[in-house]
Amino acid sequence: MSNTVQIIPWDSQSREDWKLQRTALSGKDGSECRIGASDIATLTGHNAWKSKRRLFLALVGIYEKEYYDKRTIMGHRYEPMIADLMGYWDEDEEVFIDNLYFKRRQRKFKQAEFFVLNSKFPAMSCSLDYIPDGEVYSPWTGNLYEPLTPLEIKYIQEFVYKTWDEACPQHYMDQLQAQMALTETEVAIFAPYTNTDDLYPVEVERNNEYIQYLDHVTREFAIQVTKGKIIKAKLDVATDGLEIHDLNNELEDLTPIDPIEDSEDLAKELMTSGDDYLEIEPEGKEERLIKEYQMVTEDEKDLKGRKHAIKAELTGLADGYAGLESENFRVIIRGHNHPTKGAYFRIYNK
């Protein structure tokens, strides 16, 4: 293990303590900023279920709301069982079933009771699900796994799995590539388990060029969060009404924009009761501006959608590698040259 890798043991097994420690590692209460591997797909735009705006405000220290439902809770409860199943798994279904029936364990994994940081990637952090327990060999290649090889477990609905175009969707690929970057490992195991009791594991290879992209994205976002923290610190001590107004405008300009529906929901969640918060019916100029704001936001959302569609089409056209140039930009695309590798796309200003 490289001396750039830092292992930080959990303070306790308590979910509440784990969350507090993870929050501390994110730098929420300090000057630094680290994005957890599971949130990185939010920054790349590959996670449609998480809001970049909410992530920004959470890291700045303005907003915090942990989401969980029955499915996510059951996912956590299933993890030890799925990790155990991976000990018997074989690509041949009959061999897999025989291994289970006759209790012929081929390998063993243990819970990773620690967080991982790496000085090479200062804006990232991760908490792995499971890692090899002792000498564990790949069921695909026969190669010996490194001690920190990530085993990422997901509990999903079968119909969701059938909608995936790849064995490992891009939003999970972002998470795995970040984990491999931090642990300095060459492969990771992605193990989705469905509600029909089917296990679909796949081995994912490290993609150094894509990791460079993730490093760039997380560093840029960390800079924005740090700026937001400075503004919040000023707001916390400001007493002048005009200064508070100007600082709030600065923070709003810095905050990522999400679809109008999510922005409205977030505003309601952040709203408190009291004399300072009055609900009024907008009319005249205010009503016109609100409607115009909504229209502009929807236009922006449509443009972002078109941007991602163009990017996806360009990536699909790339056979291994493609480079495009315009008067102002140089575009690099790396296509899916391996079924378990994610596409790589970056635009540089000339």
Q: Which of 2-11, 218-227, 256-265 has the lowest mean pLDDT?
A: 256-265
Cβ atoms of 175 and 40 closer than 8 Å: yes
Which pLDDT score, from 0 to 100, does residue 71 have?
73
| Same-domain status, 15 and 151 | yes
Cβ 173 vs Cβ 37: under 8 Å = no
Same domain, 33 and 143: yes
Domain-embedded: residue 106 = yes
Do 200 and 296 reside in the same domain of the chain?
A: no
Same domain? 43 vs 189: yes
- With respect to residue 226, please indicate whether it lies within any of the assigned structural domains: no
Q: pLDDT at position 49, please?
A: 77
Does residue 53 contact residue 255 with C-beta atoms inside 8 Å? yes
Establish how many alpha carbons lie within 13 A of residue 308's alpha carbon, considering only the half-sphere containing its beta carbon.
10
pLDDT band at 152 (very low <50, low <70, confident <90, very high): very high
Overall average pLDDT of the 76-98 stretch = 94
Final residue belonging to a domain, choices 210, 244, 275 = 210
293 and 197 housed in the same domain: no
What's the pLDDT at 289?
80
Domain boundary among 210, 230, 246: 210
Pick the most confident of 21-25, 114-118, 239-243, 346-350: 114-118
CB of 99 closer than 8 Å to CB of 105: yes
The CATH number given to whatever domain includes residue 168 is 3.90.320.10
pLDDT score recorded for residue 62: 87
- The confidence score (pLDDT) of residue 176 equals 97
Mean pLDDT confidence for 266-295: 64
How many Cβ atoms sit within 10 Å of the Cβ of residue 177? 24
* Domain shared by 14 and 109, yes or no: yes
**Domain final residue, candidates 164, 179, 210:** 210
Are residues 59 and 206 both part of a single domain? yes
User: Helix H segments across 116-185?
Assistant: 158-161, 170-183
Say which range, 12-21, 257-266, 294-303, has the weakest mean pLDDT. 257-266
pLDDT tens profile 306-333: 776 676 666 555 544 445 555 555 555 4
What does pTM read for this prediction? 0.75
Residues 109 and 10 occupy one common structural domain: yes
Contact 106, 88 (CB under 8 A): yes
Q: Do 185 and 292 belong to one domain? A: no
Give the per-residue pLDDT at 291: 77
pLDDT in the model for residue 265: 58
Percent of the chain scoring above 90 in pLDDT: 51
State the average pLDDT over residues 219-237: 93
**Is the residue at 230 inside a domain?**
no
What's residue 337's pLDDT?
43
Residue 251 lies in a domain: no
The answer as to whether 27 is a domain residue is yes
Domain count, the chain: 2
Counting every residue, how long is the chain? 350
Supply the mean pLDDT for the chain: 83
Q: What is the pLDDT of residue 200?
A: 96
Per-residue CA distances from 234 to 222, 224, 225, 229, 253 (Å): 19, 16, 14, 9, 16
Does residue 43 form part of some domain? Answer: yes
Residue 245 lies in a domain: no
Please answer whether residues 116 and 185 qualify as being in contact, where contact means their C-beta atoms are separated by less than 8 angstroms. Answer: no
- Tell me what pLDDT residue 292 has: 82
Indicate if 136 and 18 belong to the same structural domain: yes
pLDDT band at 340 (very low <50, low <70, confident <90, very high): very low
Judged on CB neighbours under 10 Å (0-12, 13-18, 19+), 65 is exposed
Indicate if 14 and 153 belong to the same structural domain: yes
Q: Among the ranges 28-32, 38-42, 57-61, 179-183, which has the highest mean pLDDT value? A: 179-183
The pLDDT confidence band at residue 149, using thresholds 50, 70 and 90, is very high
CB 39 within 8 A of CB 33: no
Can you give the pLDDT at residue 280? Answer: 55
Query: Could you give the C-alpha distances from 198 to 82, 124, 172, 223, in angstroms and in order?
Result: 10, 32, 19, 42
Is residue 225 assigned to a domain? no
Residue numbers of the domain that contains 332: 288-350
Alpha helices in the chain (DSSP H): 15-25, 40-44, 52-60, 70-86, 93-101, 158-161, 170-183, 208-237, 241-254, 260-270, 285-317
pLDDT in tens, 98-140: 999 999 999 999 999 999 999 999 999 999 999 999 999 999 9
pLDDT on residue 313 = 65
CB 345 within 8 A of CB 322: no
- Please tell me whether residues 175 and 306 are part of one structural domain: no
Higher pLDDT, 220 or 15: 220
Cα 200 to Cα 79: distance, rounded to the nearest angstrom: 14
